[in-house]
Amino acid sequence: MLNIKDITNTIIQGDCLEVMRDMDNNCVDLIITDPPYGISAYSKGTMGGGVLAKQSTFEPTTWDFEPFQFMQFQACDWVSKNQIIFGFNHFCDILPPTSSVIVWDKDNGDNNFADCELAWTSFKTAVRKVKWKWQGMLQERMDNKDKRYHPTQKPIGVMKWIIEKYSKPDDLILDPFAGSGSTCVAAELMGRRYIGIEQDSKYCEIARKRIQEAKDSMGLFKNKMVIESEAK
């Protein structure tokens, strides 16, 4: 079995099912993840939508041909105390009933993309909504925009909101479909421990780089606060 301390605050390259099979029951506090929906997203490098600016072009993908599987959910349920899984509308047939859904209102105007995304949760709370603009070149934080590395990347702001609402300080958060690492970056910024699992070596390196950049930015912020405090 994997020693959880050895893999905490790391990005693991590998198949999430194989990795989670080597993890103990309830060894992480919360899974937050956005698994493949099985809709062949960006299989040609773009996805229609008619946004204001020219769409970002990515390498054609193959990882979204098959959707999130029930055995993967079982592994998530085994290793974690609670789960938050994006794509609820695609996985109604394999996820248990829930009273607690997260609605991400993308505030993306009039186009062919979805107005919202739904995340299933294992919590027993009410439905919650987060509004965060995510429309091509237009983002909620125009003064601090997320660079897009991954075609289905989630905004750090949305992931921070989820982590704040559904976890406690020093909780251990796992993202078994880490992609470019938004969940782990948000966890780092929110003072949570994290583990990311990602098959693609390129995205593993991107995730690690983004996490280091987050650490560096927090260090600069802390230094600025110290300097300003000493100047008073």
Band (pLDDT 50/70/90 cuts) for residue 145 is confident
What pTM did the predictor assign? Answer: 0.88
Confidence of residue 110 (pLDDT cuts 50, 70, 90): confident
CA 225/CA 97 separation, integer angstroms: 46
- The domain defined by 8-231 folds into Rossmann fold (3.40.50)
pLDDT reported for residue 45: 58
A 10 A CB-CB count for 77 gives 18
Please give the residue that has the higher pLDDT: either 148 or 23. 23
Asked if residue 31 lies in contact with residue 84, where contact means CB atoms within 8 angstroms, the answer is: yes
Q: Which residue has the higher pLDDT, 137 or 183?
A: 183
Overall average pLDDT of the 108-114 stretch: 78
Strand-pair category, 28-33 with 101-105: unpaired
pLDDT at residue 83 in the model? 98
The long-range contacts involving 162-165, CB below 8 angstroms and separated by at least 24 positions, are 162/32, 162/84, 162/102, 162/119, 162/130, 162/186, 163/32, 163/187, 163/190, 163/192, 164/190, 165/128
- Mean pLDDT throughout 176-201? 98
Residue 30 identity (one-letter amino acid): L
pLDDT above 70 coverage of the chain, percent: 87
Where in the chain are the domains? 8-231
The tokens 């992931």 sit on which residue? 159
Region of poorest pLDDT, from 34-38, 91-95, 115-119, 150-154: 150-154
Residue 92 has pLDDT above 90, yes or no: yes
Q: How confident is the model at residue 113 (pLDDT cuts 50, 70, 90)?
A: confident
Phi and psi at 89, nearest 5°, equal: -65, -20
